Structure 1
Amino acid sequence: MSEEKRCWLDPEDVTPRKGSIYPAPFDAPVAGREKRALGDALGLTQFGVNLVTLPPGAWSSQRHWHANEDEFVYVVEGEVTLVTDAGEQILGPGMAAGFPAGRPDGHHLINRTKTPVIYLEVGTRAAVEQAQYSDIDMKARKDGGTFVFTHKNGDPYP
């Protein structure tokens, strides 16, 4: 095979990232989450694609919404609870949810079952982004690099 990246892969060959980059204590509910960055492994630059596994009890994230990035999830295996400003909805295999950029509807997924949930997560890769967290004293900002988390008043986390 040449030095070029191939256009296909087996997700099992992609090393999963476990947990999140949230500051403590907000990282605890997300600690068991595993993401396989399929888009990165395939060289995609305009949008991200992650294959996510949520073990029983794990959350996808803190409840949040993005100013500049669209998000889409598609459930592959298991049942997961989608929590939004409107309430809760069970999503099963083959079901999808979408969150347009700039719509202030805090959302996340929670695995309240006894078996793992697997879903695809697809999102825009905006260079400049702000995320608001609905239920906690946190916001995030990205300006070309990685997210920086602060209190809602702008004070940094230690």
Structure 2
Amino acid sequence: MIYMLSGEAVLIEDTETVLRQGDAACWPAGSPIGHCIENRSDQDAIYLTIGTRNQTDIIHYTDHDLVTYKHGSARRYTREDGSDYPVRRNT
């Protein structure tokens, strides 16, 4: 969930929605809804990000065909179809 404190930002999902002070947006747990927030103005956009930081979680990045499975500090990455997602490792 995000809550806009000041400024203006554009929420991008399947459509674009302008968010202003006092607006909120949220996404139900378990729903693979890809989204991002863009500040297209010349003013600061200040918002709170509210959510859990579960030790175990599944995170969908639909715009990258990526699913992250988190268990503690361990991560596993796949595509939506379950095939391996190529991950670069720093060496």
> After TM superposition, is the score higher than 0.5?
yes
Q: Distance in 1 between matches of 2:66 and 2:76?
A: 7
Distance change (3 Å), C-alpha of 1:156 and 1:150: farther
Q: Which has the higher strand share?
A: 2
Residue 11 of structure 2 aligns with an amino acid whose one-letter code is L
Which consecutive unaligned segments of at least 5 residues does structure 2 have?
none
Q: Structure 1 residues 117, 145: CA separation in 2 closer, same or farther (over 3 Å shift)?
A: same
CA RMSD of aligned residues (A): 1.8
Counterpart mapping for 1:105-116 below 5 A: 105-116=33-44
Give 3-state SS (helix, strand or coil) of 1:150's partner: strand
Mapped to 1, the partners of 2:21 and 2:67 lie a distance apart of: 31
Task: Give the secondary-structure state (helix, strand or coil) at the position aligned to 1:135.
Answer: helix
For the 8 Å contact 2:9–2:37, the answer to whether it is kept is: yes
Say if 2:7 is the partner of 1:78: yes
Q: Is this contact kept in 2: 1:79–1:113, CA < 8 A? A: yes
Shift of 1:83: 1.1
Residue 54 of structure 2: aligned partner: 126
Distance 1:118 1:92 in 2: 10
Q: Indicate which of 140, 146, 150 corresponds to 2:68.
A: 140
Q: Indicate yes or no: 2:77 matched with 1:150.
A: yes
**Gaps in structure 1 of 5+ consecutive residues:** 1-71
Alpha-carbon contact 1:129-1:141 (below 8 Å) kept: yes
